[in-house]
Structure 1
Amino acid sequence: MFIKSTKMKLSINKAIKNNFKFFLLAYTLLYFCLINLKIFEDYWDEKIFWEHRAGNWTAYSGFSTSDFFKYSILTINDFTPFYLAGTRIGIFYIMILVLLFVFYIINPIIFCFFAKKNKNIYLLNDLIFLILYTCVLIFFLSIFFPLSVGLIPLYIFFPINFIVLTTFRIYQYKKNLIC
């Protein structure tokens, strides 16, 4: 009895630990996306402001690193999660963090109490999360930004983000890290 109970505890801990790793990867990719947008937005706000004062009008055309050092006013404090949550993309940031927390921290703990074989439940959980994550990334951010903005344009960043998350999760399933 004790051996069976210990194996189950180890299995639960392994699943929670690997879900937490996926949570950290998704959070890191989300944070890179927000930094990508914040740098680009700050750069264009300053550039348009100074060009407009000089009598020129500049449309979104491309990102120039030489112009960025001339027009950017960012400091290291502008990249903290607390500052980013206060910007206009803060609702998106908080919405994805809540989704991540519920799907990969709260749900695995609840699943461990009610089911013995959780692999199918985790798979369903992953499918729902990845669909929601992609929809929120594409639809919510496209309200605020065209998909061509960012240091790495969003139409390139979104598929990379989705592929990295999906590949990492498939790797975890193949290695039986999620029980």
Structure 2
Amino acid sequence: MSILEGEMEPVLPSRRPKRADARRNFDALLTAARDSFAENGAHASLEDIARRSGVSIATLYRNFPTREDLVEEVHRDEVEALCRAAARLDDLEPWDALVTWLRRFVDYIGTKLAFADALNRTTDSFQACRKAMRDAGGPLLERAQRAGVASPEPSIDDVLRMISGISAVEYVDDAQRKRVLALALAGLRAAPPPGG
């Protein structure tokens, strides 16, 4: 990805405004919405989101005419962060890069679960997000497979479905979640050569 004014170009199209003051309001709304959705699900109060962000409800609606527009943009923003994380792992060993990104993917799934009912759609935006995640994680998996540290059989789609599945259930505690993820990652790791 190229660098533009010190930032990576967006992976996905965004409705983010160009003007600095409008961008600040937009970003404050996204942060407040992400927090509110995490606490209350996709049906979180839009008035509460506007209050948390420090802007008026009119500003919220000017940026996001519908609740779905806001949910889609929060989702797009999370996917964008996930894709950018993949692009910043070149300095890690192949297995470490893949595991680091998959752990970040687990965090993304946690955010997605907060408004899962609103995300079970096939809109162009959500399809673009799914493709962007596969495009970001695919090279990490392929690099680990070429290095012989990840099993050669699975595709990135297989891996993302596996990690999504184990992330979508409730656990007794965070330690149990980490153990289950470690089991999945152990299954993804290539078997050492015989006698090695």
TM superposition score normalised by structure 2:
0.32
Relative contact order higher in (CA < 8 Å, ≥ 6 apart): 1
Which has a greater percent of helix? 1
TM superposition score normalised by structure 1:
0.34
